Structure 1
Amino acid sequence: MAFADVPLLDGPVVIRGALDLERTEAGLRPRRLPSWTRPQIPSPFCELVVAMPSGVRMVFATEATGLELDVLTTKTLDSTGEPNSGGVFELVVDGVPGERVATPDGNVLALDTSGVKPPEITPGEPATVRFGPLPPGRKEVEIWLPQSAPVELIALRADGPVRPPQPDPRPRWVHHGSSISHCMEADNPLGTWPVVAARAADVNVLNLGLAGNAMLDPFTARTIRDLPADFISLKLGINVVNGDTMRVRAFEPAVHGFLDTVREGHPETPLLVISPILCPIVEDRPGPTFDDIEDGVVRFRSIGDPAGLAAGALSLSVIRESLHRIVGVRSATDPNLHYLDGRELFGESDVADLPDALHPNAAGYRRMGERFAAYAFAAGGPFAR
């Protein structure tokens, strides 16, 4: 059967995990914050990670045995000056992971995350991602987009009928965190720890992990407030330390304000606050942190002065004490509010899987997801059904 075009809008394809589909010159760019947040996005770096589709997937039912997806990707230059791999597109058929296709080259973005230099983009060309042969007969298909490269969707073609998917009846879990929830270092979209946990617990996850940008921003809190959610988790603290953006005096009221806003829309929804995982470089010293290349390997280091802690600077140890205290005070009148020390997900025994001294590798993320599912969704856990 010949390939035929499948409409990306107002047709059978459902895009899950995105809150905005931005129209571009090339096509549709999934974004993980709603359109009203665009004027409030504080930097090109924040906009970049919002457009990285961690947890975003195209879902439909089909009898096709072959699929073609035209895309324009944007890869960023890493610390060595080379474009990152961009990850992979991953196919899931009737819930079973299948084919992976490397993210094709497209645009290349040079971005100074400090904001000193303006972003520079080298335009590229669209490419086609192909899947097949798929099993015969009717099936539910998911195409998971790469978590580490913005993707503009241009066209979808199939060699068989395409129909809308079945509604997803599973409980919805909304998670917000930093790069350690965004999981750019995972080796596939299903390998990000929120997706590992969601698949283990059989829930529908929305991943609002925003690398470098879990800064207690009010627009993120309002987004979560307004979303349907059966469970909510907030992994807070590491970006505030690494950016050296707050002191204790500002951090603790900001956490309270974030929680107040979320609770406006979800007064009784199970809500889990997660402190940072282990990160030795800032456990007992403040940020800021920077990445360096040592023997060809990217590693992070902190240049903060531990003496600043006495004046209210933040380390991870201070962050954990603050979050534990805040949750303890609030849970006296909010029994559905819970706290988890992030070192339960990734701690001292896991440091071998922290190759850049900040981010877990693919194995570390998988282990985090398995541990989170075993804790949060198990009988007696904060998200137990």
Structure 2
Amino acid sequence: MREPARRAGKASVQLLVGAGVSVACYLLLGVLMVTAVLSVTVVGAGLLPEGVLTVRRLAGFQRRRTSAWTGEPLPEAYLPLAGSLPARLRTMAADPGTARDLFWMAADLVYGMALMSAALLLWVPALLVDAVWCGAAGKDAVLLPLIGRLADLEASWSHLLLQPSPDAGTADRIEQLTVTRAGAVAAHGAELRRIERDLHDGAQAHLVALSMRLGLARRAYDSDPATGRRLLEEAQDQAETALTELRHVVRGIHPPILTDRGLAGAVRALAAGSGMAVDVETGGIEEGPRAPAAVEAAAYFAVAEALTNAAKHSGSDQARVELDRSPGMLRISVRDEGRGGALAGGDGSGLLGLRRRVAALDGAVGITSPAGGPTVITVELPCAW
């Protein structure tokens, strides 16, 4: 009987704290009603957002209690109360999380106190009956476990009422997509500027020089054929250089090696040209259908950026690349045994560009790089194989 009594005592403490929360709900609801009545004045309207923040804190305390009792996470989702007073009032009125909190407070006034009262009324008969039952029949307690079930019932109702609104999940998703879209636009703009710079400084300069040499060769052709031929030879060399520059630009947009050899072959080529001893594990990527071209390109550039950073900054000459396919997902891991300390820094950082490129495909990037190493960069890309 000792163990059932211990569990019942723990449940009673849970219910007692819950009753305290019910009292707080009662007091806070009264304050909110008075504040709502006074909201016709500037002072009352200014107090309403503070009252809502207090409600959120109380609901957050109840969520933590419930999660600790049930072992299940109970997240919160609110619209931020920021900006001017009218903006905060509009946000407060439209926030589904606040509405659910107020409904929970009203319900908790009833079930919180009722369950605690039931537990108090159950203790005396439970101790008497279970003591006789266990002593005479040598069987388990029958009434003491009911107190634990009352605590379970209180937690289950709180868990149901304090769950985030489905609308809050939609709002979070919209906010996430807004941030992702901004990152994708920034990455696209940076990519366009890079292509423009490469074309202007590389291929365009060589094409201008080619045009000049062809013009000189045409004027010299009749009067000085030897000079004309020399200028034509130089023009041919200039044309080949321009083609090389154009191929370089094209490789920066979509490497031809991806089309020719697939992601696994392209990653092996990156490993071979990295200047490091790189172990590549393809994880079945070469089997079955290929990933979409955009996903392969993002994966290729992710590996390229990770290996480039490792070669430049890690101080190690060893790395490992792992590719793994699963239903709906392509996973990439690049690990080096260097000094660590890699950060996704500010503008211009290769890792920041990597995050934006992956986020544009609704993927995720993880970086683990403690001081002393190792550095592990993981990339997950949604993929319809």
Query: Shared fold (TM-score greater than 0.5)?
Result: no
Higher strand share: 1
Query: What's the TM-score, normalizing by structure 1?
Result: 0.23
User: Which of the pair is proportionally richer in helix?
Assistant: 2
Considering Cα pairs closer than 8 Å and 6+ residues apart, tell me whether 1 or 2 has the greater RCO.
Answer: 1
**Between Structure 1 and Structure 2, whose CA radius of gyration is higher?**
2
